[in-house]
Amino acid sequence: MSRQREAILSAVRESCCHPDADMICARVKEDIPHVSLGTIYRNLGKLAEEGLIRRIAVPFAADRFDKTLTPHGHAVCPACGDVSDLPEHISNALESALGECISYELTVRRECEECKKIKKYTV
């Protein structure tokens, strides 16, 4: 594995959220300052194809990447772009309705708790 590829993979694995290519690029640049965004994109694509990370398509925004490989859905906040995992009981409900799933893409758009709070105070 090349040094760049390794750095990109560990940037995704270290991340607590669901980073996009720009966030990963900023992290990798701390160790490899000359790395280009193109290299980041190419490697992220390959890592996702090989099943080492997951790519999450986000409506109207950049793809995000996930270190968690077990099937789970995501909630995307259209106001701030926050991506979070759906609670486990949603996955459990899907599996009890459909049987064991190899994989699925489930992305829900909803306002996150933080944005809801802000609204409450400004209205």
Which residues of the chain form contacts with Zn ion (CB under 5 A)?
Answer: 66, 68, 77, 79-80, 82, 85, 112, 115
CB nearer to Zn ion: pick between 39 and 73: 73
CB nearer to Zn ion: pick between 80 and 93: 80
Strands 64-66 and 54-56: antiparallel
- Least distance from Zn ion to the Cβ atom of residue 35, Å: 25
- Least distance from Zn ion to the Cβ atom of residue 23, Å: 14
CB nearer to Zn ion: pick between 68 and 103: 68
Cα separations (Å) of 26 from 22, 36, 42, 103, 106? 6, 10, 16, 30, 28
With H, G, I as helix, E, B as strand and everything else as coil, classify residue 47: helix
What tokens were used for 56?
């999450």
CB nearer to Zn ion: pick between 41 and 78: 78
Strand partners, 20: 64
CA dist 50 and 30 (Å) reads: 25
- Least distance from Zn ion to the Cβ atom of residue 1, Å: 23
If one counts every other C-beta atom within 10 angstroms of the C-beta of residue 49, the result is 10
With H, G, I as helix, E, B as strand and everything else as coil, classify residue 17: coil
- Least distance from Zn ion to the Cβ atom of residue 12, Å: 11
